[in-house]
């Protein structure tokens, strides 16, 4: 069983390199958030949530919670984090761990020592070790644009 370990490690590095390479060429356009909405259909009501008000999505199995700027309780509905990641690719959302997809325009502070990001509301979210490189790359890319 240990004989396959180097091959697995090599494949993981290739996958990470591929992911990072694709992220490098990703362009973020927050203006595309203005016209997008998520429609949540529950038993007795239908809710439209503007994407530009969404701070982050958090997934627990197939149940997705939408944390937004309206200050109310988070909305929830059934979906997958992978589908959300594909739907909102390129408009300012970045996956920071297996369970969360964050709207990058709400990030105020990044803390390299703790691998955390702080939203403009003061809330801190932990970034997984594998996704930390994407956060650093995003902010270094934003620095070069200014």
Domain ranges of the chain: 36-145
Averaged pLDDT for residues 9-14: 36
pLDDT band for position 88 (50/70/90)?
confident
Please spell the DSSP secondary structure of 92-108, one letter per residue. Answer: TEEEEETTEEEEGGGEE
pLDDT at site 16? 37
Res 36: pLDDT: 85
Angle, vertex CA 142, rays to CA 136 and CA 143, nearest 5: 90
| Average pLDDT of the residues in 56-67 | 93
pLDDT digits (tens, 9 = 90+) for 97-146: 999 999 999 999 888 888 999 999 899 999 999 999 888 887 776 656 65
Residue with tokens 């509301």: 121
Q: What is the average pLDDT value for the chain, to the nearest integer? A: 78
Write down the pLDDT at residue 11. 35
Average pLDDT over residues 6-27: 39
- The pLDDT value recorded for residue 102 is 95
pTM of the predicted structure, to 2 decimals: 0.73
The angle subtended at Cα 79 by Cα 76 and Cα 83, nearest 5°, is: 130
- pLDDT at position 58 over 90: yes
Q: Check: CB of residue 30 under 8 Å from CB of residue 106.
A: no
Q: Are 31 and 90 in contact (CB under 8 A)?
A: no
The CATH number of domain 36-145 is 3.90.420.10: no
């Amino acid at each position: 069983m240990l004989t396959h370990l180097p091959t697995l490690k090599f494949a993981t590095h290739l996958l990470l390199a591929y992911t990072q390479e694709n992220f490098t060429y990703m362009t973020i356009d927050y203006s595309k958030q203005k016209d997008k909405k998520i429609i949540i259909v529950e038993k007795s009501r239908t809710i439209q949530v503007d994407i530009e008000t969404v701070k982050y999505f958090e997934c627990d199995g197939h149940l997705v919670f939408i944390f937004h700027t309206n200050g109310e309780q988070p909305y929830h509905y059934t979906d997958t984090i992978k589908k959300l990641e594909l739907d909102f690719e390129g408009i300012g959302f970045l996956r920071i761990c297996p369970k969360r997809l964050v709207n990058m325009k709400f990030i105020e502070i990044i803390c390299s020592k703790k691998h955390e990001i702080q939203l403009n509301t003061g809330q801190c979210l932990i970034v997984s070790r594998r996704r930390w490189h994407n956060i650093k790359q995003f902010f270094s890319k934003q620095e070069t644009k200014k």
